[in-house]
Amino acid sequence: MDYTTQMDAARKGIITDEIKTVAEKENMDVNELMKLIAEGKVVVPANKNHKNLSAEGVGKRLKTKINVNLGISKDCCNIDLELDKVKKAIDMKAEAIMDLSCFGKTKEFRTRLIGMSPAMIGTVPMYDAVGFYDKELKDISAEELLGVIETHAKDGVDFMTIHAGINRETAEVFNRNPRLMNFVSRGGSLLYAWMKLNNKENPFYEYFDKVLDICEKYDVTISLGDACRPGCLNDSTDASQIKELMTLGELAKRAWKRNVQVMIEGPGHMALNEIEANMMMEKKLCHDAPFYVLGPIVTDIAPGYDHITSAIGGAIAATYGADFLCYVTPAEHLRLPDLDDMKEGIIATKIAAHAADIAKGVNGARDIDNSMAKARRELDWNKMFEFAIDPDKARMYRESSRPEDEKTCTMCGKMCAVRNMNKVMEGKNINILRDDN
């Protein structure tokens, strides 16, 4: 039996190789998974032209996934360095990589990225348009913008951020409700400017059916972009953000009628006490579609540490419904991340995702924590490193300060509670001041 997309296959009861892979990774009954995919509550981004993909699922009842952003820019146009980042992201088992390249002819980098990556690949075609056509923004036609989407789809991109919710209605709401930070979405600001400069509707909204034609043909998952995401705490949960979210919910329904998979993108900067309500609102207004969030970044005053502010918000967001976390690095708001920044961002986001999976009760999420606890009880340092989220850093700290008693560490030495409880429970003397006999 033929099918067009993973959603179409699930609705027809066809177990694709990708659906089977996801079911195995999630330790989930394949029929339960297919039901969630058919309803739009889970997506399996899997472009027909991404041949070496190891498929992942994003959505309800699945493990929280993380995405790594990279790509070339005019100020940092080093393809080899970005490919080193790709290798690092793959080694660190990030489930997704987004190519945010926004300068020059990006096809070479995108093609090499897709060819080497088993992780799902995302792009933002709007970023590529100016360089793709070598034209100023105002002079790019609606047809040409759609052409960039088709090119990325043909190249094998698994999901694309399409800012279709920033239409004329949403723009009017924004105009009537001034913000402290205006728009901070790069794609959203470009489209708002294009609409103003040309006095036309957002082509991704006006010609959304043509976008769906492309995505259905190649099985590209649409990540409906949040052009109105808040860029500071002051702008969160405002009229512009909510208006766009309502529009994204309507567009999701239109996509599902065509068997096109959809994710919804969300904030942004947001105070801790607003996160839970925002997750509930997205799931309600967007009909339980998977939710992909940047952060949320929970304070505006920590440049250099925004991997931490983001991980705090991400853990809370995923606990209350977010399914996919975009990593944030220490370089956020400051510069293009380097390899070290990238590693810090991945680790922080993986911690947030795992903490949320435990809170959500995701099947098997606690198992590795229980294994770590057992290794700690047994003071088995090699096992502890094996279960650590960053074994290299844990081992480096251990080796940098060696204790007198190799079973302990230099924090407590022979007063180590674990060592002494083990000895007492075994009926042995503790011998803090003397060597053991």
| Domain identity same for 348 and 398 | no
| DSSP sequence for 251-306 | HHHHHHHTT--EEEEE--B--HHHHHHHHHHHHHHTTT--EEEE--B--SS-TT-H
- Residue numbers of the domain that contains 398: 367-425
Residue 412 in marked binding region: yes
Round to whole Å and give the CA distance between 207 and 148.
14
Residue 205 in marked binding region: no
Residue 98 in marked binding region: yes
Residue 160 in marked binding region: no
Residues 190-209 have pLDDT tens digits of 999 999 999 999 999 999 99
Residue 323 in marked binding region: no
Q: What are the residue ranges of helices labelled H in 119-207? A: 125-133, 142-155, 168-176, 186-198, 203-206
Round to whole Å and give the CA distance between 399 and 46.
43
Stretches in the chain below the pLDDT threshold 50 = 437
Is residue 120 one of the residues assigned to a domain? yes
| Domain identity same for 339 and 382 | no
**Under 8 Å between Cβ of 120 and 95:** yes
| Domain identity same for 341 and 421 | no
| Domain identity same for 400 and 343 | no
| Domain identity same for 204 and 348 | yes
Round to whole Å and give the CA distance between 44 and 22.
8
| Domain identity same for 379 and 299 | no
| Domain identity same for 290 and 384 | no
Residue 186 in marked binding region: yes
Planar angle of CA 289, 295, 298, nearest 5 degrees: 125
Which tokens sit at 55?
A: 């498929």
Is residue 29 one of the residues assigned to a domain? no
Residue 269 in marked binding region: yes
Identify the pLDDT of residue 433.
Answer: 86
* Residues 6 or more apart whose Cβ sits within 8 Å of residue 171: 192, 195
Round to whole Å and give the CA distance between 238 and 178.
10
| Domain identity same for 73 and 127 | yes
| Domain identity same for 379 and 405 | yes
Round to whole Å and give the CA distance between 9 and 56.
16
| Domain identity same for 337 and 389 | no
Burial letters for 41-62: b for 16+ Cβ neighbours within 10 Å, e otherwise? bbbbbbbbebeebebbbbbbbb
Which of 360, 387, 405 is the endpoint of a domain?
A: 360
Is residue 407 one of the residues assigned to a domain? yes
Q: How many helices (H) and strands (E) does the chain have?
A: 19, 10
Residue 163 in marked binding region: yes
Is residue 345 one of the residues assigned to a domain? yes
| Domain identity same for 85 and 155 | yes
Residue 327 in marked binding region: no
Residue 1 in marked binding region: no
Round to whole Å and give the CA distance between 368 and 389.
10
Is residue 14 one of the residues assigned to a domain? no
| Domain identity same for 390 and 293 | no
Round to whole Å and give the CA distance between 74 and 103.
5
Residue 310 in marked binding region: no
pTM of the model: 0.95
Residue 333 in marked binding region: yes
Residue 326 in marked binding region: no
Which of 338, 360, 382 is the endpoint of a domain?
A: 360
3-state DSSP percent of the chain in helix, strand and coil, to 5: 50, 10, 40
Round to whole Å and give the CA distance between 397 and 296.
30
Residue 192 in marked binding region: no
